[in-house]
Structure 1
Amino acid sequence: MFRRRSEKTLRIGLLVPFQGADAIWGPSCQYSAVLAAAELNERGGILGRQIELLAADAGGSPEAVVERARQLVEKDGANVLVGVHLSSVRLALSREFSGRIPYVFAPLYEGGIEGSDVFAIGEVPERQFSGPARWMMETLKAKRWFLIGNDYVWPRASHRWMKRFVEENGGEIVGEEYVGIGQEETGHLVDMIEQANPDVVFQSLVGSECIPFNRTFAERGLAGRILRFSGAIEENTLLAIGEENTENLYCAAGYFSALQTPENLRFLKRYRDAFGITAPVQGVLSEACYEALQFLGALAARAGTFWLADLAGAMEGLSFSSARGVTTVRNGVACGPTFLARADGAQFEVLQRFG
């Protein structure tokens, strides 16, 4: 795939969603990828090759996304794939492109790697939730947990981890329920939660799936007495839920736009200078898109080549910088800082850093 070392450009196939539940963060991802590509190109590109972004919609059925990605690779000449999308799509892409092309999967995910040519750099449940969940159990006395999520691989794996963690730390699971993506009616979930009366509802709903549930939850008057804890509500989703519906809503993530760190303040300044103050708000999924390109640059520089085997061999121990700070790959897992935040109206307030 990469024999033609004389090529002037590196074509990166960018797979971000523009339909479906995760489309709510698609524009933010696209903007952050453009910024990352521009920064890398200003520094000479990756291994001397200027980046050219090629985009395709990663929303919809996994089969449809695979076909769009195939067009990027076989027709448009993409050399690398970078994706911020659902794990169900990742599994399909991994099967299709295993051994053919490097594929960077950037967002939080359930853990596990389908092959050495899939470079997953997002938070796994243990990294994402250990510190925040312990903080909620100890500080907020959240002992009784109700788990809700969409019915696919990431929510189910996250719930398995959370159930074990809660029970090992003296808590109790008082309910668990899943809904299919696109099932807009969530009143029955609120009914079940109200009857179970937990201390906290752990949500593994994704993207726009979070909106009707959290609105109904607050409208029912439950927000004042039952905590909510999410691993996937980012800034675009929080805005859509509405500030009147976010009381006692917490989120654990590897990035928040509200971070007051030197790295994030520089990132946001560059972002606003490039696109203006009306550009889509940045959140953990879109920052992951920016991070993916920075990771790819660092990985290729360490390997000195784009050959899959060399890239895979260069990943362990690699450190790379992004808007949230420095991340280092240890035992195949990208280990960067994670944070717990509380919704303050339509914005997040960062409470704690872990790692």
Structure 2
Amino acid sequence: MRGRLKRPAFAAARRPLLALRAGGSEPAPRSHGPIRIGLLVPFQGADAIWGPSCQYSAVLAAAEMNEKGGILGRQIELLAADAGGSPEAVVERARDLVERQGANALIGVHLSSVRVALAKAFSGRVPYVFAPLFEGGNDGEAVFTIGEVPERQFAGPVSHLMQHHAAKRWFLVGNDYVWPRSSHGWVRQFVLENGGEIVGEEYVGIGQETDHIVDQVEAAAPDIVFQSLVGSECVPFNRMFAERGLAQRILRLSGAVEENTLMAIGEENTENLFCAAGYFSALKTPENQRFLKRYRDAFGVTAPVQGVLSEACYEGLRFFGALASRAQSLDLTALANAFEGLTFESARGLTTVRNGVAAGPTYLARADGTEFEILRAFND
């Protein structure tokens, strides 16, 4: 990926392996020539709904960085593999990137279940950045995590809704894997410690129907439903929730409904739907306005909408560039030593790693049709 920024050709985006570069697929020496970054974003499964947005933002980040000399004076070449589907299948696609195509590093925006498998498979081999929000507690994983953990993501928004919207009775709904269960553990404790009540908690496998959970929510009559449904899993639940008339009297708070998902839910189904995240395209900060202008100038107004998960892809590349620059190396030990205290720029503004966690503001937003209105910012 060199020279002028061009619109990516995503007609083949659902192929298991997509190379966003010119030339063949022979491995390149890892200490010379371009730095090859393996991009792992989903193009199948529940999280595929934001896959195209991720690739567009990654292309923009790589092009911007290449205009300023790339990473350690070497131009960036993006490779990509589908990070959707079973963790085992994703590991094999990533193995192809590393072993056959010579990826120097991996940057992923995908499910935490996939992260766990990739961390095990590539520990000590290549740098691996997991960019999106996650459940925290990744001790023992050789992964650079930079997304919001539950305390950072939910403390302010949950407290605000309890204090200002009388949200005392909570029902927790999530997909059945590590991120929802860990996030619910934190939210449950926080709600109870602040005088609230948990009136129900249910999990559903990805791809399974959620009708019975809507029935349970209706019977429990909570003040608010906390959702950890991921990607397109949010769509049928929230549509049925609104069709039953529950949206008029029960609030909803999600940590994963981003702009693509909100549009799929539909404007008639988003009443009293809130989201807590570290980024929204509606942010009026100078950094985000510059990011969105560059994005639209590069790809046009019809390019996929940006949200917290796809912005994380952009942020992942900017983070890795800053980390390598501070370390002056791609060596894993040098990179690990450079992690704590690192400050890097993205569409959110400046983010600093403190005590192993990337710190920065988070926001509470309310759905206004198929767009978000930001209500409040919460700083660390």
1:137-152 to structure 2, matched below 5 A, reads 137-152=162-177
CA contact (8 A) 1:117 1:312 kept: no
CA contact (8 A) 1:110 1:124 kept: yes
Deviations 1:253-307 (A, max 9, x none): 0100000110000000000000000000000000000000000011011101010
* Partner SS state of residue 312, structure 2: helix
Determine if the alignment matches structure 1 residue 271 to structure 2 residue 307.
Answer: no
1:288 — aligned with what? 312
Stretch of structure 1 that moved more, 60-69 or 5-14? 5-14
Determine if the alignment matches structure 1 residue 71 to structure 2 residue 96.
Answer: yes
Count how many residue pairs are aligned between Structure 1 and Structure 2.
Answer: 352
1:313 — aligned with what? 337
The equivalent position to 1:173 in structure 2, one of 178, 181, 198, is 198
2:219 — aligned with what? 195
1:27-46 to structure 2, matched below 5 A, reads 27-46=52-71
2:155 — aligned with what? 130
TM-score, normalised with respect to structure 2: 0.91
2:265 — aligned with what? 241
The runs of 4+ residues in structure 1 deviating greater than 4 Å are none
1-structure distance, mates of 2:171, 2:97: 42
Q: Give me the CA root mean square deviation.
A: 1.1
CA contact (8 A) 2:323 2:335 kept: yes
Aligned-partner residue type, residue 364 of structure 2: L
CA contact (8 A) 1:98 1:115 kept: no
Aligned-partner residue type, residue 349 of structure 2: G
2-structure distance, mates of 1:21, 1:6: 37
Deviations 1:74-94 (A, max 9, x none): 000000000000000000000
2:327 — aligned with what? 303
* Partner SS state of residue 223, structure 1: helix
CA contact (8 A) 1:58 1:65 kept: yes
CA contact (8 A) 2:30 2:104 kept: no
Cα gap change, 1:307 to 1:225, in 2 (>3 Å): same
TM-score, normalised with respect to structure 1: 0.98
1-structure distance, mates of 2:85, 2:173: 22
CA contact (8 A) 1:223 1:248 kept: yes
Aligned-partner residue type, residue 78 of structure 1: A
2:242 — aligned with what? 218
Gaps of 5+ in 1: none
2:370 — aligned with what? 346
Determine if the alignment matches structure 1 residue 257 to structure 2 residue 281.
Answer: yes
- 1:320 to partner: Cα distance: 0.7
1-structure distance, mates of 2:168, 2:289: 36
1:19 — aligned with what? 44
